[in-house]
Structure 1
Amino acid sequence: MSTWRTSKATTLTAATAASLLALTACGNGDDDNGEADGDTLQIALFGEEPYSWLDDDGEPTGATIAVAEEIFEERMGYELEVEETDWDNLIPGLTSENWDVVSAGMSINPERCAEAAFGEPELVYTTALLVEEGNPAGVEDFDDLLAAQEDGDDLDVVALSAGVEMGWLEEMGIDAEGVANAQDGIDFVEGGRADVFALTAISLEAMAGDMDGLEVTDAFSHEISVGAHTFRPEDTELIEEFNEHLAELKESGEYLDIVSEFGFTEAEIPDPEMTTEELCEGDIDALNEKYLED
């Protein structure tokens, strides 16, 4: 796979911009109608294992990248050019046409649906907390964090600044600070600058589960949270074709085969009845009742 990337999307240089323009007639692989031009797709990823990240050789990898390669490259015939960016930049960069697709397992919710379009649901997420080994504060979920802070415990909590976990923490009235990426959150806890980092459970296990002095709590489900590939709303033909191939992969079982290489199991595959439309509508009580196990 051909790749093009910078260490951070916010540091595009004039030379990089010029080279990108040379690669695609419209600068980002789109034609005049907002659809990808059939040759190149610009893909944005976020450095969070096991979803999408750059490996030690600087090559894109992860479950969502493997799905993108299978659908966009193998089945739709695109060349993929991949760039890593901070979480906060994913949707702004998409709407600004810096890239065509976000492949980062972004959770579908009404706020994001107001700015971007999503493919059909791909992976169900649970949450965990990264804490000091032994979990001295005894916090296992958000209710414990709230109770601890209300009791006067001086717990410093961090989460991705634009992640769903931050939204949940704010809704519950839990004091928390934002970090730009998953590695920063881990570094904060490891370095003693934070007591708790809230993130998807499978990511914390993959990135920090074996680190000395740290501990990942058991996974919990605060609300239904389901990730998918993210697109510009006007790219309707691209989205429809992607969804057709995604449905084929799910029906054949190939989707699970692809993501299982990165630690995902059948437990992370959404209910076949679940749709992006209902997740965008955001009736969270109805969604929780329908899809979350007691």
Structure 2
Amino acid sequence: MAVERVVTRRNLFRYAAAGAVVASGALAGCSRTGTADSGAGGQGLLKQAKERGYLTVGFAGEAPYAYKEGGDLTGQDPAVHREIWTSLGIKELRGVQVEFGQLIPGLNAKRFDVVAAGMFILPERCAQAKFSAPVYVAPQAFLVPAGNPKQITDFPSVAKSGITLGVLPGSVEASLGKKQGVTKTVEVASQRDGLSALKANRIQAFALTSISLRNMLKDNPNSGFELTEPFTPVVDGKEQIGAGGAVFRNESDELRMAFDRELAKLRESGKLLELIQPFGFGPETVPPADLTTEKLCQG
């Protein structure tokens, strides 16, 4: 697959600055969390976080999942994480921003304790780390020029059209596109870079979840682009349901199970929907009860 990586002055600065710690209201330089998963099964990290009063979370700066606004860490995932960890006696979230493709490597290198970035639960990722129960579901879509001149509706139609598709590095969209015959792609480091590439006609469509793209259009109402109809990709006759969750190191079972217990309470009470609605998530994005991490990890 021919892939061109977009590198601008702004992106070079982001690469150099990746790993900067974004506290809930301030920035502070840091390269590691300074903590470890002690004991069998990661016993001890939850206690450590309670004692020090904060937990570090990795995020990639993708709205509306997890991003900075006025220096504060916000978005759908931080809102859920903040509610859960507060209920467990951890009062502060400290964000560590890295490129999306570096979230799991950074987690396993102990640069942060958990990933809160709207990351899809996929078999290849499950082989590298452990996911929580699904926090949300989201269909795919494309951002295209107004009128959708190439009439693209899914990844096979992108492949057939011959257009160049913009994707985030390490994203599920990049993987799905490749599996369905898309050979002309450009990696863009952020949503903003994707929009810039569209405006410059370096790409003719930008692939993300419908939630992310709808948020982009809300912030850029006069961009001259539109959202295609959301869809669920089908690979080898099987629907590829997009569902995201929190990500933990393999040895952080105690932390993950505590998160799952509190997440179940939020779903049962209806509080989960209340937390994510301000970020463009609706009732249809709350995972169905029969959708499990085990199923998603199996593919």
TM range (shorter): 0.7 to 0.9
Of 220, 227, 236 in structure 2, the residue corresponding to residue 216 of structure 1 is 227
Q: How big is the alpha-carbon RMSD for the aligned residues of Structure 1 and Structure 2? A: 2.4
Q: C-alpha separation between the residues in 2 aligned to 1:99 and 1:229?
A: 13
Please report how far the alpha carbon of residue 215 of structure 1 lies from its aligned counterpart in structure 2 after TM superposition. 1.4
Of 74, 94, 102 in structure 2, the residue corresponding to residue 61 of structure 1 is 74
Question: Any unmatched runs of 5+ in structure 2?
Answer: 1-12, 23-27, 234-239
Moved over 4 A (4+): 7-10, 12-16, 18-21
Of 82, 89, 92 in structure 1, the residue corresponding to residue 105 of structure 2 is 92
Q: Report the CA distance shift for 1:203/1:19 in structure 2 as closer, same or farther (over 3 A).
A: closer
- Tell me whether 1:145 sits opposite 2:151 in the alignment: no
**Residue in structure 1 matched with residue 178 of structure 2 by the alignment:** 170
Kept in 1, the 8 Å contact 2:33–2:113? The answer is: no
Q: C-alpha separation between the residues in 2 aligned to 1:14 and 1:184?
A: 20
Question: Any unmatched runs of 5+ in structure 1?
Answer: 1-6, 150-154, 283-294
Q: Which residues of 2 match residues 46-85 of structure 1 at below 5 A? A: 46-55=60-69, 57-85=70-98
Kept in 1, the 8 Å contact 2:18–2:97? The answer is: no
Q: C-alpha separation between the residues in 2 aligned to 1:15 and 1:218?
A: 37
Please report how far the alpha carbon of residue 32 of structure 1 lies from its aligned counterpart in structure 2 after TM superposition. 3.0
Kept in 2, the 8 Å contact 1:10–1:85? The answer is: no
TM-score by length of 1: 0.83
Percent identity for Structure 1 against Structure 2: 35
Kept in 1, the 8 Å contact 2:134–2:244? The answer is: yes
Q: C-alpha separation between the residues in 1 aligned to 2:248 and 2:110?
A: 10
- Tell me whether 1:237 sits opposite 2:250 in the alignment: no
Kept in 1, the 8 Å contact 2:138–2:243? The answer is: yes
How many residues end up aligned between the 2 structures?
A: 265
- Tell me whether 1:42 sits opposite 2:56 in the alignment: yes
**Residue in structure 1 matched with residue 281 of structure 2 by the alignment:** 264
Q: Which residues of 2 match residues 112-191 of structure 1 at below 5 A? A: 112-149=125-162, 155-175=163-183, 176-191=185-200
SS at match of 2:71: coil
Kept in 1, the 8 Å contact 2:21–2:95? The answer is: no
Cα deviation per residue 1:66-91 (whole Å; 9 max; x = unaligned)? 00110113433243211222111111
Q: C-alpha separation between the residues in 1 aligned to 2:100 and 2:222?
A: 23
Please report how far the alpha carbon of residue 12 of structure 1 lies from its aligned counterpart in structure 2 after TM superposition. 6.3
Q: C-alpha separation between the residues in 2 aligned to 1:27 and 1:147?
A: 46
